Structure formats: structure tokens, C-alpha cells
Amino acid sequence: MTDSAMPDRRPWHRQLDAGQWKAFAAAWVGYLLDGFDFVLITLVLTEVADEFGLSLATAAGLVSAAFVSRWLGGLALGAMGDRLGRRPAMIASILCYAVGTGMCGFAWGYWSLFCFRAVVGLGMAGEYGSSTTYVMESWPRALRNRASGMLLSAYPIGAVLAARAYDLIVPHAGWRWLFYAGILPVALALWLRRSLPEAGEWSREVGRRGREGAAGTSASALLSRRWAGANALICVAVSASLVLIFSGHAGPLYPLYIAVCVAGFIAFAVQINGRLWPMAVGLMLTVFSAFLYSWPIQSLLPTYLKTVLHYDSGQVANALTWAGLGYATGSCLAGILADRLGTRTTYVGGLVLSLLFVFPTFALGSGNVALMWVLLFALQATGSGISGLLPKYIGDHFPVRLRAASLGFTYNVGALGGAVAPVLGARVADRIGLGPSLAWLATVLALLTASLVAADTPARLGRRLHREAADPLADAQLP
């Protein structure tokens, strides 16, 4: 089915053929498993900390481990998706995070678990970039906000299943078996993807053009003879710097390591995006702020429920189930509204609305269990659910030949905010308590993120820094 000049008046679900629904289902299941595997560490932080003798702040660094590697997964697997197609990148990604999750169950200490979580991060980043571009490029343009929101609803459903698995497994078998269980459903996702067609838009604009189409992709830029050696050194330098920063071993050279990371990220943005690189950096900053807003709650909520409200494993699982259902519902509703109202308008509106629920959620005592479910559902629907629009928001800025790598790279560099978030939340909690820490961080950073999106900061930054060009963003597909 192709987009036409005249709007399609049929109900939206009838505008999709069987192949487009199959593409969505395969990507949705893969992303559900991605969400399942990725959040497992947040559920067992207290158990891991007890077994390895770690403080809460140190254990929170294990959440950060997967974020440390995500930028590289988004870049490498995204470039693979731009060069070879979205489907091969989807398969490689799901295998990567399945292997990483299984290995977490064999961890013998902090550093081994840190490394295995980094492997999970590589796969998750690739899954995000390849699955989102695959679905959006398989669906009509008029429905792509809906595709984005509905696809990302899979992540919190995966988190809900992880919470239920935690309640069933950990009290009886220990935390390691939760990671072993995380690799079992991967066969289903691989089976669903075995006969998928390639994304239509990629096939038309890159795949069918052969060498000519491949020559202009992100992979051709990153692997050129001129840059290949330098890029390998940049990868090593950035990766080492991030590990030192987020493991707490940076010492007095902390500012230097940050500078190395920033310089490396800009170097890759310039290679992939050419004169669009300032816009890519603006997107990284926006996503960084979005993760700083949402991830203190997502990563430390189980710890808050267990240590502050003294919930048992069943109550924690129930609370996280309602939070995840709210997240999934919000993602779907955000996509529907954004197709009508516009991506940025809907995104900003959701963030502002979420502020109504932040302080009531973390002011509630342990005796109001049912009300906690309602508040968590509403908070996650409006605050985290709205992030279902991010793939559409980011992807609209880039042409097809660069989209998977550009989306995967900019999003996952920005996702380093999720690595900062649990450590920041834990350290602020040492001063004012965990509940107030989560509430204040969510409020301040939601307003910052809403301001960046409302002002269309990435596109404005690109235009400002290239005002000397007659049409500096002509190659971009701005929202």
C-alpha cells in the first residue's frame, strides 16, 4: 500500500494490509522482550546489592551499565540497518540482548554483571532503532505517530511481565533465575521475523538502488578508508571514558572524560549527518533531558516501594503492573492524538499534564495501595507514555538512507540521561529522601524537556548554526 495525495477516509486499521500488520506484530513482540530483559536489573537491585555487598548508589550503577553501551549499539546496528536493511538489524539486535541477559545470571561480582548488562544495552539500542524505523517505514505516513506510540507500548508490557516474573521466581529461586528466564521467549520473536519482507520505504530508496543507494548510507560514511581507523580509536576512547564515569572510577579526570565523550559523539554526528550535525546534537540534548526526567522513577521505583513503603514482592509486582499498563496506554493514546494534533503539541501536553500526579504519588503512605495504583497508572500514562512519540519525532528529522543510524545514535546518546538518572536520584535521595528526590527531579526535568520540544530546539539550532546556507535543512524531513 502506498501513500496517496488524497487522504484515506477509511478507518485507520483498514488502511493497513496483512503484511503491514505482520511487520508490526513482529517488531512489537521483539520490543516487548526488549522491555522485559532491560528492566530486570531494576527489580533485583536490593537482592544484588545484598549478595555482592554494594551500597544503593553503587548498585544503581548497574542500571547505568546498559546505557553506557547503547550509543555504540545504536550507531553500529543502525548503520547495519541503513546498509543491509531494517530486518537483518532487528534479528542481530534481539540475539545480542538475549545473550547478554542470559549471561547476567552467571555474574560473579559487580564488574561481570556490569559487562553483561552492557551487552544487553548494545542489543536494546539496535532493537529500538531498527524496529521503530522498520514499522514506520512500512506504514502510511499519516499513521506513523500511531505506529510509533503503539510499538513502544510493548516496552512497558514487557516490564509488566518482568514484574510478574519477579514475584513468581525471585522469592523462591533467587535473582539469577530471573535473568535465565529472560532468554526463553526469544525463539518466538525470531520465528515471527524469519519471513518478514523488508521495510517498503527503505527498499524503494536504498535497497533497490544497489550500490548507488548503499553509497549514501551512514555505513558508507563510518566505514570509509578515511575514517575507519580513527573511528575505531574514538569508539575505544568513548567507551572507556563512559565506563570510568559511570562506575565511579573517573577521579579528578572526570571533566576530561566527559569532554572525550562529547567530542567523540560530535565527530560521529558530523560523519553521519554532514551539515545536519547541529540538529542531531540538539536531538541528543532533548532526549538526554527526557531520560533524566523519566528514568529516576523507572529505575528506582521498585526500590522506593520496597524500602520506603515496605511493600512485599507481590505488592511491588502489582504496583509495577499498573504503572506499566499506564505507560502502555499512554503510548497508544499519544500516537492517536499526535496523528490529529501534531507530534510536538501532543508530547508537550503530556509532559505538562504529568505534573499533576508527581507529588501526590510520592506523598502517599504505604496504606493506600489501591490509590497508589491509580496514581502510578496516571503518572506513567502522561509522563512516560508520551515518550512513545520520540521515534517519530526524531525520525522525521532525517532522510531514509541515514534514518536508522541517526535515530539509533541520537536517541541512545541522549539515553545516557538514563545512566545518570538512577545515580543522580540515589544521591539526591541521600540528602532529602527517595520519595522527595523522585518527585522534584521529575517536576524540574519535565518542564525542561517540555521547553526544549515546544521551542523546536533541534531544528532551530540547526538553522541558526547554518544560516549562511540558502536552504540549510533541505535534506531533513522536519516535523
End-to-end CA distance of the chain: 23
DSSP 380: I
Least confident of 272-276, 334-338, 475-479: 475-479
Least confident of 235-249, 365-379, 397-411: 397-411
- pLDDT-derived band at 466 (thresholds 50, 70, 90) equals low
CA distances for 30 relative to 17, 152, 389, angstroms:
21, 11, 18
Give the CATH H-level superfamily of domain 14-465: MFS general substrate transporter like domains (1.20.1250.20)
pLDDT of 148-183, one tens digit each?
888 888 888 888 888 888 888 888 888 898 888 777
Q: Which of 228, 192, 214, 190 is nearest to 85 (CA)?
A: 214
- pLDDT-derived band at 366 (thresholds 50, 70, 90) equals confident
Per-residue pLDDT, averaged over 79-107, amounts to 83
Least confident of 143-152, 193-202, 274-283, 430-439: 193-202
Give the whole-number percent of the chain exceeding pLDDT 70.
87
Cβ-proximal residues to 229 (8 Å cutoff; 6+ apart), any chain: none
Given this model, what pLDDT does residue 181 score?
79
Q: Is residue 213 over pLDDT 70?
A: no
- pLDDT-derived band at 408 (thresholds 50, 70, 90) equals confident
Every domain of the chain and the residues it spans: 14-465
Given this model, what pLDDT does residue 291 score?
85
Per-residue pLDDT, averaged over 438-449, amounts to 88
pLDDT of 215-247, one tens digit each?
556 666 666 667 777 888 988 999 899 888 877
Given this model, what pLDDT does residue 225 score?
67
Given this model, what pLDDT does residue 292 score?
84
Cβ-proximal residues to 48 (8 Å cutoff; 6+ apart), any chain: 41, 54, 59, 62, 113, 175
Contact 10, 121 (CB under 8 A): no
- pLDDT-derived band at 473 (thresholds 50, 70, 90) equals very low
**224 CB neighbour count, 10 Å cutoff:** 11
Given this model, what pLDDT does residue 378 score?
93
Q: Is residue 468 over pLDDT 70?
A: no
Given this model, what pLDDT does residue 377 score?
93
In 3-state terms, the chain is what percent helix, strand and coil (to 5)? 85, 0, 15
Rounded Cα–Cα distance for residues 181 and 162 (Å): 10
Cα angle for residues 319, 151, 146 (degrees, 5° grid):
110
Given this model, what pLDDT does residue 13 score?
66
Rounded Cα–Cα distance for residues 32 and 408 (Å): 18
Q: Which of 103, 153, 132 is nearest to 326 (CA)?
A: 153
Given this model, what pLDDT does residue 218 score?
64
User: What one-character-per-residue DSSP string does 238-282 give?
Assistant: HHHHHHHHHTT--GGGHHHHHHHHHHHHHHHHHHHHGGGHHHHHH
- C-alpha cell of residue 46: 536490593
Given this model, what pLDDT does residue 207 score?
63
